[in-house]
Amino acid sequence: MEKLKVGFLGCGQFAQSFVDLFIKHPYVESVIVADTDPAQAKATGERFGVPYYHSLDELLSEDINAVAIFTPRHTHGPIAIRCLEAGKHVYSAVPMASEITHCEQIVRLVKKTHLTYMMGETCVYYPCSLYCKEKLASGDMGKFVYAESQYHHDISHFSAHHREDLAAIGIPPFYYPTHSISMVLAATGSYVTKVTAMGYEDTEDDPIFKKGVNMWDNVYSNAFSLMRLANGGVVRINECRRIGHKAPSSYISSFYGTTGGYQFSNAQHMFTKNVEGGVKAEDVSDLVNPVAMTENKGAEGFKNDVANHKWQWDSFSPMQDPTRLPESYHDLHNGHMASHQFLIDDFCTAAYNGTLPTVSAWDAARYTVPGIVAYESLLKDGEPMDVPDFGNRPTDEEWAKPLPQLMMRHPALSFAADPVLPEGYAIRTHEAGMEAVWEDVIKDAFGHPYSFSFMKDRPEYDPKTVFYLEKDEEAIATATAVENPLYPGEGWFRMVGVRSCARGLGAGRLIASYALADLRRRGYKTALLSTDDRRIPAIALYLSLGFEPYITHESHEARWKAVMHELARRAEKKQ
- Position 341 in a domain: no
Q: Is residue 247 predicted with pLDDT exceeding 80?
A: no
Residue 563 CB neighbours (<10 A): 23
- The whole-angstrom separation of Cα 405 and Cα 407 is 6
The number of residues making up the chain comes to 575
The enclosing domain of 263 has a CATH number of: 3.30.360.10
Position 177, amino acid: P
- The whole-angstrom separation of Cα 22 and Cα 187 is 28
Q: Could you tell me if 96 and 127 lie in one domain?
A: no
- pTM (2 d.p.): 0.95
Q: Could you tell me if 194 and 92 lie in one domain?
A: no
Position 343, amino acid: L
Q: Could you tell me if 277 and 390 lie in one domain?
A: yes
The enclosing domain of 94 has a CATH number of: 3.40.50.720
- Position 340 in a domain: no
- Position 349 in a domain: no
> Does the CA dihedral 330-334-337-342 come out positive or negative?
negative
Looking at residue 246, its pLDDT comes to 83
**3-state DSSP call for residue 272?**
strand
The enclosing domain of 541 has a CATH number of: 3.40.630.30
- The whole-angstrom separation of Cα 206 and Cα 371 is 25
- The whole-angstrom separation of Cα 471 and Cα 445 is 16
Looking at residue 522, its pLDDT comes to 95
- Position 562 in a domain: no
| CA distances to 20, 91, 363, 508 from 325, in Å | 15, 18, 22, 44
- Position 575 in a domain: no
Among residues of the chain, what percentage have pLDDT more than 90?
92
pLDDT tens digits along 127-156:
999 999 999 999 999 999 999 999 999 999
- What's 297-319 look like in SS3? CCCCCHHHHHHCCCCCCCCCCCC
- The whole-angstrom separation of Cα 195 and Cα 383 is 8
Q: Could you tell me if 36 and 113 lie in one domain?
A: yes
Q: Give the relative orientation of helices 76-85 and 100-113 as an angle to the nearest 10 degrees.
A: 20
- The whole-angstrom separation of Cα 572 and Cα 575 is 5
pLDDT tens digits along 65-101:
999 999 999 999 999 999 999 999 999 999 999 999 9
Q: Could you tell me if 82 and 140 lie in one domain?
A: no
Q: Could you tell me if 165 and 274 lie in one domain?
A: yes
| CA distances to 34, 160, 310, 387, 485 from 307, in Å | 35, 21, 8, 34, 70
Nearest one of 108, 188, 206 to 149, comparing CA atoms: 188
Residue 85 CB burial class (10 angstroms; 0-12, 13-18, ≥19): middle
pLDDT tens digits along 398-437:
999 999 999 999 999 998 899 999 999 999 999 999 999 9
CA angle 165, 170, 171 (to 5 degrees): 110
Q: End of a domain among 398, 419, 453?
A: 398
Count: domains in the chain: 3
Q: Could you tell me if 303 and 417 lie in one domain?
A: no
Q: Could you tell me if 146 and 206 lie in one domain?
A: yes
Q: Kindly state the helix (H) or strand (E) to which residue 502 belongs, with its residue range.
A: none
Phi-psi region of 138 (alpha: psi -120 to 50; beta: other; left: phi over 0): alpha
Give 191's DSSP letter: -
pLDDT tens digits along 195-219:
999 999 999 999 999 999 999 999 9
Looking at residue 86, its pLDDT comes to 97
Nearest one of 238, 218, 242, 219 to 227, comparing CA atoms: 238
Q: Could you tell me if 546 and 439 lie in one domain?
A: yes
Nearest one of 378, 74, 382, 73 to 221, comparing CA atoms: 378
- Position 257 in a domain: yes
**3-state DSSP call for residue 574?**
helix
- What's 28-60 look like in SS3? EEEEEEECCCHHHHHHHHHHHCCCEECCHHHHH
* Domain that includes residue 520, residue range: 406-552
Q: How confident is the model at residue 162 (pLDDT cuts 50, 70, 90)?
A: confident
Looking at residue 416, its pLDDT comes to 86
CA angle 326, 321, 67 (to 5 degrees): 50
Q: Could you tell me if 98 and 149 lie in one domain?
A: no
Q: Could you tell me if 130 and 262 lie in one domain?
A: yes
- Position 463 in a domain: yes
Q: What are phi and psi of 8, to 5 degrees?
A: -100, 110
Q: Could you tell me if 69 and 156 lie in one domain?
A: no
- Position 568 in a domain: no
